[in-house]
Amino acid sequence: MTDDTDEQWMQAAITQARLAEAKGEVPVGAVIIHEGQVIGRGHNERESSQDPTAHAEMIAIREAAKQLGSWRLIDTTLYVTLEPCPMCAGALVNARVPRVVWGCDDPKAGATQTVYTIGNDDRLNHRFECVPGVLGGECSALLSQFFAAIRAKNNPGNMR
């Protein structure tokens, strides 16, 4: 169930996504909330850091764990603009995040609902609540515009 608070925090994740976009990174952003405060934030940094694990969620998880002084991120919610991939969904399970809210689905690598359901797999030791589609149109548009601009730049004769 989504509410105005979910939309407020998703806007914070979108702000992070725009920071990624400004750096030429795929515009995905994430924030982790604990007791009404942002304790972790991140945006994609794979290109700038040349680190394949530098996804928005992973950066936010690391920052939140440092803030709490614990790898167990109980009583938190992660907000992310794009459905988490298998790596990030696995990290969310391991970090014991109880609730994950995302903007748009990822039809190629979504690991919470679309392709896999890691957050709800009974074989794992932890499961999390999944809340899809919060400000999904805005999150999807960010990604679509980013990739359209890349295609136009790489193929200037095909301006549609």
pLDDT digits (tens, 9 = 90+) for 88-111: 999 999 999 999 999 999 999 999
Own/partner pairs for 49-53, CB < 8 Å, 24+ apart?
53/87
pLDDT in tens, 27-85: 999 999 999 999 999 999 999 999 999 999 999 999 999 999 999 999 999 999 999 99
Residue 22, C-beta contacts closer than 8 angstroms, at least 6 positions apart? none
**Beta pairing partners, 42:** 30
Contact between 35 and 75 (Cβ < 8 Å): yes
Look at residue 1 and tell me whether its pLDDT is greater than 70.
no
What pLDDT does 4 receive?
Answer: 87
CB atoms within 10 A of CB 135: 22
Contact between 30 and 44 (Cβ < 8 Å): no
Residues marked active site are found at 57
How far is Cα 9 from Cα 57, in angstroms, rounded to an integer? 14
How far is Cα 28 from Cα 58, in angstroms, rounded to an integer? 12
For residue 107, the number of C-alpha atoms closer than 13 Å in the C-beta half-sphere is 2
Contact between 6 and 31 (Cβ < 8 Å): no
Local confidence band at 155 (pLDDT 50, 70, 90 cut-offs): confident
Local confidence band at 143 (pLDDT 50, 70, 90 cut-offs): very high
Give the CA distances from residue 134 to residues 4, 59, 97, 151, in Å, rounded to whole numbers and listed in that order. 10, 21, 18, 27
| Residue reference for tokens 């992660």 | 78
What pLDDT does 158 receive?
Answer: 57
What pLDDT does 61 receive?
Answer: 98
- Predicted TM-score (pTM) of the model is 0.94
State mean pLDDT over 131-149: 96
